[in-house]
Structure 1
Amino acid sequence: MSFADASLTALRVFREVAERGTLTAAATALGYTQSAVSRQIASLERAAGTPLLERRHDGVRLTPAGQVVVRRAAGVIDQLDATARELAGLPDERATVRLGWFASAGAALVPNALVALRRTHPAITVITREGSTPTLVRALRAGAVDLAVLASAPPYRPPDSETPALELRTLAERGLRVALPAGHPLARGDYVDVADLAGQRWIAGSGADQGMGVWPGLGERPRIAHTARDWLAKLQLVAAGCGVTTVPASLVTVVPAGVRILPVRGGPGEQRRILLARLPGPLPEAVAPVAAALRAAAVTLDAGSG
């Protein structure tokens, strides 16, 4: 069996595994059993004559051969999907750009960029999806998104160790802040001293993101009163007086009533970067205006949150 005999189904399954990072997550997304996904991957590896995935305790990682396959598979699948749409008489999607973004970027940055883009480039359709930074990096590698807005914290390591390295551009860099109920004693000033954060009730992220929402480097085990994945839910809990949480400065312009967002003084500076990431190579014609709109929106948002 040669690789030319690999099935389209196997290629789709392989791209999903590469994007999701685990066989289980890919099976759930596709509506398959995990054993069915394993069989498709095994058939593709037989056709390739070499392992395409490295199985690890925390999921899978693409081998060098797997990186080649997922890059080529993305092009094949996209071309076949475009052909199917053309045969069905559906609109041409050559001006469609797929954008991924991490949670808080969807509060203001991405919507503001899309509003501006509709005015300047109405023929471009942008399809967006939210995800964690690791998920979006895998989606870039798998060819499932064209651009991704990522979050980065010190020491600002590359988002992954794969080659070729992703092309990164810093959209903004601002200090992390703390969100407090408007009636909270610490909300009376213009800033919060880091020592005063001891003993506070925190509203943190859920699951693997539980550390998000708690001030980094606290000299104690944090008292987590509530967990929520959604930033708006966290801020509404703050407004209700249920606790405090951390927020990026970019959310200053979209906080609900009853919340004060203040900088924190003392201790190491807690800076956060917003990055725009893509695979290296020439920027596709339709992608360039989207990237430009995100850069412009980040400048405007940065000015408004100062």
Structure 2
Amino acid sequence: MIDVQRLRVLRAVAEHGSFNQAAASLRLTPSAVSQQVAALERSLGTQVVARSTRGVTLTRAGQIMVGAAESVAAELAHAQQQVSALSTGRTQLTVAAFTSGGRLLLPAALTRFTAAHPHTTLHIREGEPEDTLPLVRQGAVDLALAYHFDGPLPVGPAPGDRLTWTPLLDDPLHIVLPHGHRLARHDALDLADLAAEPWVLGCLKTEAFLRRFAERAGFSPDIRGTTTDYFFARSLVAAGMGVSLVPSIALTPEIPGLSTVPITAPGPIRHIGVATLGGRDRPHVSAFLHALCEEATRNHGHGSAASPASAPGRGRGRPPVP
């Protein structure tokens, strides 16, 4: 039999990339972590990690076992919820969300859901997709409002992955400039028009996205400021620090002295959706997902509603893969 504790240790090693960091997260010694992994390898008859001076990486067998560890954690979390519901008469629902998407979509969805499901206790966790999607896989959260730019989700699929992605909105990015800027009155701008401008950005992932699109446009952006908040970034633009690249739903509340200009198509887009764990019937999760889909449709003016082929409830499936 495979020891569940050893799977938990392997999952921590995979997450942190080293025995030392995994040990710190588990409050164990590095020696204890190494022994647990070695014992797992002996029970399986094969290596699960490849050790080097740069740390540890998973072997193919290790990847399979980490996928199993995620499934075990999710099943145990689900069982704990069921037992808790038996004793309290209340179901539990934990929702994770990134800041700007949560601010736009969660309040009305929460109001609608709680009115219809008064015996469900809600918990909200804020976080970026690279942090919250693994929590969905582990069963620590029931669904995550998340996003990805062009390309795959920030956390790729695991072996036997049951993660399901429901698209909600396409969220185009816009150029934000001071009112008096020479380009502020244009109907649309190409990124090449801004090659000489200094930039301030409200998200580290936006920086990587900007650099990729700027390279296609033939320039390297002069980035003067990086923040983790789009409102702060727009405040710096208003103060004359530069221009910014901001998703549509993060353009409110308005800041005096700023102009917003669309990017010439095809421009960069942030894709917003919900990650859930497939494979079981969970009515309260489905009900909250439906509430989010309704709220996304109601707020489609802040972005673009998902196309009919990928509309909420019809385009579910595995997330994009590299």
TM-score category (smaller protein): 0.7 to 0.9
Asked if structure 2 preserves the Cα contact closer than 8 Å seen for 1:177 and 1:246, the reply is: yes
Within the candidate set 97, 111, 114, 1:118 is matched to 114
**Equivalent position of 2:163 in the other structure:** 166
Within the candidate set 173, 177, 185, 1:176 is matched to 173
Mapped to 1, the partners of 2:233 and 2:201 lie a distance apart of 8
What aligned pairs does 1:224-243 form with structure 2 within 5 A after superposition?
224-243=223-242
Is structure 2 residue 284 aligned with structure 1 residue 286? yes
With 163-172 and 24-33 compared, the bigger mean Cα shift is at: 24-33
Specify the SS of the correspondent of 1:175.
Answer: strand
Asked if structure 2 preserves the Cα contact closer than 8 Å seen for 1:174 and 1:273, the reply is: yes
Specify the SS of the correspondent of 1:108.
Answer: helix
* Residues 82 and 279 (structure 1), Cα distance of their counterparts in 2 relative to 1, 3 Å cut: closer
Mapped to 2, the partners of 1:300 and 1:27 lie a distance apart of 46
**Equivalent position of 1:66 in the other structure:** 66
Specify the SS of the correspondent of 1:260.
Answer: strand
Task: Write the deviation string for residues 129-187 of structure 1: whole angstroms up to 9, x where unpaired.
Answer: 33333333322222222212232333457952433353222101242212223443332
Asked if structure 2 preserves the Cα contact closer than 8 Å seen for 1:51 and 1:65, the reply is: no
What aligned pairs does 1:36-55 form with structure 2 within 5 A after superposition?
37-45=33-41, 51=47
Aligned AA for 1:203?
A: V
Asked if structure 1 preserves the Cα contact closer than 8 Å seen for 2:11 and 2:66, the reply is: no
Paired residues, what number? 296
Is structure 2 residue 250 aligned with structure 1 residue 261? no
Q: How many Å apart are 1:201 and its aligned residue?
A: 1.2
With 251-260 and 53-62 compared, the bigger mean Cα shift is at: 53-62
Q: How many Å apart are 1:224 and its aligned residue?
A: 0.7
* Residues 285 and 120 (structure 1), Cα distance of their counterparts in 2 relative to 1, 3 Å cut: same
Aligned AA for 2:201?
A: A
* Residues 176 and 50 (structure 1), Cα distance of their counterparts in 2 relative to 1, 3 Å cut: same
Within the candidate set 128, 138, 142, 2:138 is matched to 142
Unaligned runs of 5+ in 2: 305-322
Mapped to 2, the partners of 1:188 and 1:39 lie a distance apart of 65
Is structure 2 residue 101 aligned with structure 1 residue 105? yes
Specify the SS of the correspondent of 2:208.
Answer: coil
* Residues 301 and 63 (structure 1), Cα distance of their counterparts in 2 relative to 1, 3 Å cut: same
Q: How many Å apart are 1:114 and its aligned residue?
A: 2.5
**Equivalent position of 1:75 in the other structure:** 75
Asked if structure 1 preserves the Cα contact closer than 8 Å seen for 2:7 and 2:66, the reply is: no
Mapped to 2, the partners of 1:3 and 1:139 lie a distance apart of 22
Q: How many Å apart are 1:63 and its aligned residue?
A: 2.0
Asked if structure 1 preserves the Cα contact closer than 8 Å seen for 2:200 and 2:224, the reply is: yes
Mapped to 1, the partners of 2:81 and 2:282 lie a distance apart of 19
Q: How many Å apart are 1:97 and its aligned residue?
A: 1.9
Specify the SS of the correspondent of 1:192.
Answer: coil
Specify the SS of the correspondent of 1:277.
Answer: strand
Specify the SS of the correspondent of 1:261.
Answer: strand
Asked if structure 1 preserves the Cα contact closer than 8 Å seen for 2:147 and 2:271, the reply is: yes
**Equivalent position of 1:301 in the other structure:** 299
Is structure 2 residue 268 aligned with structure 1 residue 270? yes
* Residues 181 and 27 (structure 1), Cα distance of their counterparts in 2 relative to 1, 3 Å cut: farther
Mapped to 1, the partners of 2:49 and 2:24 lie a distance apart of 19
Aligned AA for 1:269?
A: G
Asked if structure 2 preserves the Cα contact closer than 8 Å seen for 1:53 and 1:66, the reply is: no
* Residues 286 and 29 (structure 1), Cα distance of their counterparts in 2 relative to 1, 3 Å cut: farther
Task: Write the deviation string for residues 241-281 of structure 1: whole angstroms up to 9, x where unpaired.
Answer: 32222122222344444433321126x33233112222222
Q: How many Å apart are 1:222 and its aligned residue?
A: 0.9
Unaligned runs of 5+ in 1: none
Aligned AA for 1:296?
A: E
Mapped to 2, the partners of 1:208 and 1:252 lie a distance apart of 17
Aligned AA for 1:198?
A: A
* Residues 17 and 234 (structure 1), Cα distance of their counterparts in 2 relative to 1, 3 Å cut: farther
